[in-house]
Structure 1
Amino acid sequence: MQPGMEANRSQIDQPQSLSANSTPKSQRKLWLAAIKPPMYSVAIMPIVVGTAIAFYQTQQLNWRNFLTFMFAAILVLAWENLSNDVFDSETGIDQNKAHSVVNLTGNKNLVFAIANLFLLLGISGVVAISWWQRDFVVLGIVVLTCLLGYSYQGPPLRLGYLGWGEPICFICFGPLAIMAAYYSQTNAFLINSINSSAQNLAALAAAAIIVGVGVTLVLFCSHFHQVEDDIKAGKRSPVVRLGSKRAAQLIPWAAVSIYATTIVSMISGFLPLWSGLVLLSAPFAWKLSSLLGKYHDQPAMITESKYVAVLLQFSSGLGLSVGLVIARLLN
């Protein structure tokens, strides 16, 4: 047992007892906050976008692989979320987090077992795709993604506590997820002629930036309302390192990178003009930038900011995907 585990366990018991005395309605709210259904958009959208690029370039869509990969991604993210709750319970950072699954159940071992079951089921789905393709590239990419995901909060690395969570998030949900989804459809990265393949790779790179930045913003914005808890637990998130004001000033630039990548890719011909539907997400970017720009140091005012970031991530990814499909169908 790690030092301080007994102390952390007592810290866990406190939110549990509070939730036990709460009403059924408040219990449901706590469980919804713990499960975070909207957050699973960050698992779904990279698969949708990667598949849409493959459809745009090949005119083919393998529904079996797409749906299998979708459910596998959701299961893997469920593992990530639950295991992170377990790892955070060991550091005491979630002692004031009533909607932690570990705090709600009071049974860390059960939560960890369920998390690992989700991981096993998710990996099994990816293994099935690789078996159907007679090619284990997708499996290799997903395993690498899981290892990076574990390093985010898992001991002994806990890279998220060192401020490396955002780069890890970008890599996993941007380039790696997009490439895996694309490969699950095409069974190759380089297709057609050399020039065409270069354009394909450029389109994948653009999509990786658009999706990766959107997902990373979700994680980035989740730090603003818990700065004090992060500092007490020794977690040096980017918001802790920069301060909430300077961190909030980065959000408009991150949003601009999404739209600049889209416009440059359209002008260059890497993405079709219909990809401009990404710009329909701009109101969410404006709302997120305004909200955190004004209330960055007032946790009570910004608890929902990460869900605005989810809307930005979801709408930009959906706009890109729909644009690719429309361009293919019209062509």
Structure 2
Amino acid sequence: MPGLEHSEIDQSEHPQPVTAEAADRQLWWAAIKPPMYSVAIMPIWIGSTLAFWQRNAANPLIFFLFLGSAVLILAWENLSNDVFDADTGVDVHKRNSLVNMTGQKSLIFWIANGLLAAGLVGIAAIAALQQDLMVVWLVLGCCAIGYIYQGPPFRLSYKGVGELLCLIAFGPLACSAAYYSQTQSWSWNNLFASLIVGLATSLILFSSHFNQIKDDLAVGKLSPVVRLGGQRAAKLLPWLCGLVYALLTIGVMTKLFPAWTILGLLSCPVAQRLCETVGRDYQQPEKLLKCRLIAVEMHFWLGLFFGLGFLLPG
């Protein structure tokens, strides 16, 4: 799956000097990026809760196996992206890159591969329980997209299609894998829901580019924000957020989703905060270091309430 690593850590909330030990802890927290792992969890949550609503299918063992495997696979992607970005120099100013922090690029690379292998073992266990390899193929598709996103010789994120790859991997592929793992079947409802999840995930990646336009330009990384320019990209962001909520509303109105899934709209204030922050500060990248975290917060609350809507009695 395309990796969603943090930008540089923000010191603006710490006007008072901090100890070296506290700063080091903060740096490691930013490098390990725990909040980002909700990105791996939400497609499994949505696909599984929709399977419960539509087909009354609920296997807790498979659900938790999938959750753990998804987190491990995303960890592989984040670590390997640090390695691949070190090769291009795009992360030269990124203090919370694990490669920059440790100076052990080969070690990080092999740790990443170990995490991938562990995640795939979990997916293989699901296939064995089902006696069906379809989930394996879907997850391998996610992994393939994750590699061509940043890995040589492809590096498609440098060509400006990272957001599209992210949408496909975290949307239709991941959500379909989660749904199939519970039902061994397909669903148009789930496919429509996956577009919402994938688009919300892509917004995290899109939002992350505003504070690194200069670094991206320096190495020829043509992200959508670089191509559009900060001002036009900032004006586009509210429309993209609006599309997420429009799709959710359409799903409820057409009864593709139960009425309770409208609870996903409770995340709108976070989306508004994201758009206002980018719209106000797009010319001051040092103030946009936490935009990705606001986008992650939007993604988390949207996904949590959206999935909860499939579980509440109608």
TM-score in same-fold range (> 0.5): yes
Which AA in structure 1 matches 2:230? Answer: S
Higher helix share: 1
Deviations 1:291-327 (A, max 9, x none): 001111211111001000001111111111011100x
CA distance in 1, matches of 2:206, 2:74: 17
CA distance in 2, matches of 1:134, 1:235: 43
Which residue of 40, 46, 62 corresponds with 2:43? 46
Counterpart position of 1:218: 204
The separation in 1 between residues aligned to 2:139 and 2:56, in whole angstroms, is 25
Counterpart of 2:182, as a letter, is Q
1:206 shift after superposition:
2.3
Q: Using the alignment, how far apart are the partners of 2:295 and 2:192 within structure 1?
A: 20
Displacement over 4 Å in runs of 4+: none
Q: CA RMSD in A?
A: 0.9
Equivalent pairs, count: 296
- Normalised by the length of structure 2, the TM-score is 0.93
1:144 aligns with 2:129: no
Q: Please name the residue that 1:288 is paired with.
A: 274
Q: Which of 227, 230, 235 in structure 1 is aligned with 2:221?
A: 235
Name the structure 1 match of 2:300. 314
Match of 1:173 in 2: 170
On the 8 A contact 1:206/1:262 being kept in 2, the answer is: no
Asked if the contact 1:48–1:321 (Cα under 8 Å) also holds between the matched residues in 2, the reply is: yes
Q: 2:235 aligns with which of 249, 266, 269?
A: 249
1:92 matched to 2:78? The reply is: no
| Contact residue 162 and residue 236 of structure 1 kept, 8 A | yes
CA distance in 1: counterparts of 2:244 and 2:152, whole angstroms: 33
C-alpha distance in 1 between matches for 2:175 and 2:236: 25
Report how far residue 164 of structure 1 moved.
1.0
1:251-270 map, 5 Å: 251-270=237-256
Q: Which residue of 2 aligns with 1:323?
A: 309
Is the aligned partner of 1:131 residue 2:128?
Answer: yes
Structure with greater Cα Rg: 1
Q: Percent identity?
A: 47
Give the equivalent residue in structure 2 for 1:61: 58
**How far 1:90 moved relative to its partner?**
0.5
- For residues 257-316 of structure 1, the C-alpha deviation after alignment (integer angstroms, 9 at most, x for no partner) is 111111111111111110100100000110011000111121111100100000111111
How far is 1:67 from its partner? 0.1
Contact 1:56/1:324, CA 8 A, preserved across alignment: yes
1:60 shift after superposition: 2.5
